[in-house]
Amino acid sequence: MASPNNHREHLRRLAGKNNHRPRPTRQRSFTGDIEHVAAETYLITHLAFTLLRYLGVGYRWIMKLLALGCYAMLLMPGFLQVAYYYFFSSKVKRSIVYGDQPRNRLDLYLPADVSEPKPVLIFVTGGAWIIGYKAWGSLLGLQLAERDIMVACIDYRNFPQGTISDMVNDTCQGISFVINNIASYGGDPNRIYLMGQSAGAHISSCALLEQAAIESGNRDSVSWSVSQIKAYFGLSGGYNLLDLVDHFHNRGLYRSIFLSIMEAEQSLKKFSPELKIQDPCIKDSIPLLPPMFLFHGTGDYSIPSIASERFADALTKAGARAEVILYDGKTHTDLFLQDPLRGGKEDLFEHVVSIVHANDSDALAKDAMAPPRRRLVPEILLKLAHNISPF
């Protein structure tokens, strides 16, 4: 078996070759965008009716849906500003195709200046494995691009269009595409970071460990390596499904539908990263894993913060580098939505930027001089949204 150092050198040579690839031509016309939106709308409507057949009539999920609608209306002033940027900015490359399956698309957020290769953050959005969509990462993409960090938001098949295996496979394929093609867009293939939020944190950590297992078997056949990810950021994630299935049921994600998403009860252990990391079959790949940073709010009722603490403990015991950062009183959405919409300085955002720019003194100097981010939503609406949030 090749040593990790030799493996990394081989991957660096591959990345160097990618620097000379011509820029992929994946931009579509406005008419093409309209046709794509129409097709997506039809698909989503069809899947929504399929999902309703799974859910049936249930008090909990109906109340959550109503609360979600009110929550979105309260934050609408910020969402509209971000949507305008998403649809009309020349620095957003929407729906780049990365695979052959439905939803195999990603959005790319470019910094203003890409004359030099920029670090890249791959983001996997949350959405309870049911309502995730790549555009949910628009706010993060906008703000990180302002700090000279390129962001690739990966879409993946949601349930009932796909189950957890499909989600993990889509994410692995999206990561591979970014690593092998990002140089053509001005990104640095040697500075790739991976981040997931909520269900996206679960899916992306599963993808990372799935890749580690593949590399343990035959490293010469892989299209990307866990060693190419410089750091992993998990935000408000759940990593042990056996501990969470009853918790989700009580919050409206009923056991029957959750087990359908996760491919039956016998698969819960297979798709639990906290348990997967203890698998002896992947012990040879543990040293290749990037540093793992797990962020969680102690006021999170959707996924309790103990989930990140236990995963960090399991990673450390397995020999990986892991750190858990807790935010007192923050809810499931505070860290990802309300706080960024509030503007100003934000601890989570600054922490991620400082890690991405850790070895770039010029970027750190610019970060120190960066003005506070502007407020997008009035404080009274943010407080109301905090109180009514279904998460």
Which residue type sits at 263? E
**336 CB burial (10 A radius; 0-12, 13-18, 19+):** buried
Bond preceding residue 291 cis, omega within 30 of 0? no
Task: Please report how the helices 199-217 and 164-181 are oriented relative to each other, as an axis angle in degrees rounded to 10.
Answer: 70
Q: Among the options 95, 138, 198, 227, which is catalytic?
A: 198
Mark whether 300 is an active-site residue.
yes
The answer to whether residue 332 is catalytic is yes
Q: Determine which one of 107, 170, 300, 334 is catalytic.
A: 300
Instruction: Give CA separation, 254 vs 17, 200, 251, 259, 342, in Å.
Output: 48, 19, 8, 9, 33
Length of the chain: 391
C-alpha pair distances (Å), 391 with each of 21, 93, 183, 334: 43, 30, 37, 10
DSSP bridge pairs for 36? none
Q: Which of 97, 92, 235, 224 is closest to 155 using CA atoms?
A: 97
Q: Which of 7, 202, 296, 332 is catalytic?
A: 332
> Could you give the angle at the alpha carbon of 175 between the alpha carbons of 173 and 181, nearest 5°?
100
Closest CA to 19 of 167, 149, 180: 180
Q: Which residue numbers are catalytic?
A: 198, 300, 332
